[in-house]
Amino acid sequence: MIHVDIYRAIADRTRRAILDELVDRSGQSLFELCARLIMKHGISSSRQAISQHLDVLEAAGLIRTRREGRSKLHWFEGAPLEAIGKRWPISTDEDISQDVDTSHSTDEDIKE
C-alpha cells in the first residue's frame, strides 16, 4: 500500500470529519459513516468518494479496518498523530504556557 503522510491525510475537511465520527464511535461501516457525515456535517459526498477518503486515512495509519461478520468496519488510530506533538512539542516555559492555557483547547489546536 502507498504510504500517505499524516499532514496530507488531515488536510481535508471531510477526512477530519470522518476521524471525528470514528472517535465518537469506533467500529463503523462505510454506510454508518456516510449517514453521519451527511446528517451531522452536511457532507453529501458519494459512498465511493468517502471510500477513497478512508483509503487515504488508512494509508496514513490513521484508521484500521477489520472484518466483523461479513461487514468491513473502521477504527480510529491516533498513534501517528503523536509525531506532530513530538516534532513541535508544547512549550513547558511558564510564561508561554500561561498564555496557551488561557486559549481554548490547546491539544485540539495542535492535533488539527
Partner 1 sequence: MRINWTSICVDDQEKALRFYTETLGFRLKHNIPLGEHAWITVVSEEDPEGTELVLEPAGHPAVVPFRKALVKDGIPYTAFAVDDVGAEHERLVAEGVRFVQPPTDLGTVITAVFDDTCGNLIQIVEEKAQT
- Contact residues: partner 1, CB under 8 A: 25, 28-32, 35-36, 39-40, 47, 51, 68-73
What is the smallest separation between the CB atom of 57 and partner 1, expressed in angstroms?
16
8 vs 25 by CB, closer to partner 1: 25
Looking up cell 488531515 gives 10
Which stretches within the chain are classed as H helix?
6-9, 13-24, 30-41, 47-59, 82-87, 94-102, 106-111
Looking up cell 468518494 gives 49
10 vs 34 by CB, closer to partner 1: 34
What is the smallest separation between the CB atom of 53 and partner 1, expressed in angstroms?
14
